[in-house]
Amino acid sequence: MTMATATPVMTPPTLWQIFFEFLLIGAVSFGGGIVAYERILLIEKRRWLSADSFMATLAISQTMPGLNSVNLALLAGDQLRGVKGALAATIGLMLPGGAFVLLAGVVYSAGGQHPFINVLLAGIAAGATGLLASVTYTIGKRHFVQIKSLFIIVSTFVLMSVFKLSLIWVLILMVPVGLYLYRPEQQS
Amino acid sequence: MSALIHLALTFGMLSILAVGGGTAVLPEMQTVLAGQFNIDHTEFVHIYSIGQLAPGPNMMMVLVFGFQLAGLLGAGVVLLAFFIPSSVLCLSMGRLWQKIGERPWRRAVQNALEPISIGLMCSGVYAVAKAAVVGPLTITLAVATFAVILLTRVNPVFMILGAGGLGALLMHFFGLK
């Protein structure tokens, strides 16, 4: 067990293997939940990372700006095969979805004004609103009941949606407040 | 040419400001695209919603904005501008972290950013809802999708497609909104 967590990888995978495994995730992950697919790939299916280093990598992905799923692919690829591995993983992950939206975008540009396409998109948009709300609720429910977090959530929302500040100003105002409220304990 | 540079700067900025994931920049993206690129809120929400049907990372729909504004070249510029800055930051910080190991302040940064990004997601829900939820029918579809996704294990794509199909029929034949 300790052996396994210390050295999860015997021989590093090839760039093609990395590309192909992430391409597969990029192609089948309809409806979200990509980080879960990546977890299965990295620590169960291929055992490219130990559970511990996966959790550490995920934490960095969540702390840095950018999409968590893309950051995770980037860092995992980098740990396996350096910058080339990082590129192989992220390109694989984004390729299917990118092709999908471009194709859909071409169709939308051509026919978006058609009355039936318009009502179809109106219905889809209502559904997508429900999805976004459910994702926000799932990620946020732990925070909505904590006084410090709730204060930050409400202030951020008010600055962004009520006072309509631009995002950079919202972050300039809120990040110091958040860091102060969640500063590391001086004495443990 | 200047349009491409404008696109690159806009999405490059959004890339660096995307704390806690891409969804956090949705409200800002909607405002900037409406104010500087003439993409109105309805078009924004349509393209965002199409993107939710796609597999893979959930912000790939930014390519469509690039395509709408400057063709395939525009899509390419937006792709690079939206993903390279955050990726370079993440990769360099990731390597640094590997060397120095976990530090209390990393947890502090993550703890501070989490509620901020949730607040921004709430703003995103509000921004998208303002354009997408316009009457009793769209309210019902949005609430039903929200509830079914939270209460069951149905794949959200089926719910969105279902809302689209059912909504389209009711809007088309009964003029509901």
ipTM of the complex: 0.92
Q: Which of residues 113-152 of A touch B (CB under 8 A)?
A: 115-116, 119-140, 143, 148-150, 152
Helix count and strand count (H, E) for chain A? 8, 0
pLDDT in tens, A52-65: 999 999 999 998 99
Q: Could you give the CA distance from residue A80 to residue A43 in angstroms, rounded to a whole number?
A: 13
Q: Could you give the CA distance from residue A32 to residue B36 in angstroms, rounded to a whole number?
A: 30
Q: What is the pLDDT along chain A (188 residues), one digit of tens a residue?
A: 344 444 555 688 999 999 999 999 999 999 888 999 999 999 999 999 999 999 999 999 998 999 999 999 999 999 999 999 999 999 999 999 999 999 999 999 887 678 888 899 999 999 999 999 999 999 999 999 999 999 999 999 999 999 999 999 999 999 999 999 999 886 44
- A183 torsion bin: left (phi>0), alpha (psi -120 to 50), beta (else): beta
Residues in chain A: 188
Q: Could you give the CA distance from residue A162 to residue A26 in angstroms, rounded to a whole number?
A: 36
For B97, the closest chain A residue by CA position comes to: A60
Q: Which of residues 106-125 of B touch A (CB under 8 A)?
A: 106-116, 118-125
Q: Collect all residues of chain B within an 8 Å Cβ-Cβ radius of residue A75.
A: 90-91, 94
Closest Cα in chain B, distance from residue A26 (Å): 4
C-alpha separations of B56 from A34, A70, B52 in Å: 7, 9, 9
Q: How many CA atoms lie within 13 A of A148 on its CB side?
A: 11
> What residue ranges do the domains of chain A occupy?
1-111
Contact B56 A79 (CB under 8 A): no
Q: Are A124 and B161 in contact (CB under 8 A)?
A: yes
For A65, counting Cβ atoms within 10 Å of its Cβ (0-12 exposed, 13-18 middle, 19+ buried), the class is buried
Q: Could you give the CA distance from residue A140 to residue B108 in angstroms, rounded to a whole number?
A: 17
Q: Are A135 and B23 in contact (CB under 8 A)?
A: yes
Contact A160 B83 (CB under 8 A): no
For B128, the closest chain A residue by CA position comes to: A129
Nearest to A101 among B63, B111, B128 (CB): B63
| Regions of chain B where pLDDT drops below 70 | none
pLDDT in tens, A88-101: 999 999 999 999 99
User: Which pLDDT value is given to residue A8?
Assistant: 52
User: Which pLDDT value is given to residue A3?
Assistant: 44
Match 């950013």 to its residue by tokens: B113
User: Which pLDDT value is given to residue A114?
Assistant: 85
For B73, the closest chain A residue by CA position comes to: A102
- Residue A56's contacts (CB-CB under 8 Å, 6 or more residues apart) are B97, B102
User: Which pLDDT value is given to residue A186?
Assistant: 61
User: Which pLDDT value is given to residue B89?
Assistant: 96
pTM for this entry: 0.91
Q: Kindly report the number of other CB atoms within 10 A of residue B112's CB atom.
A: 25
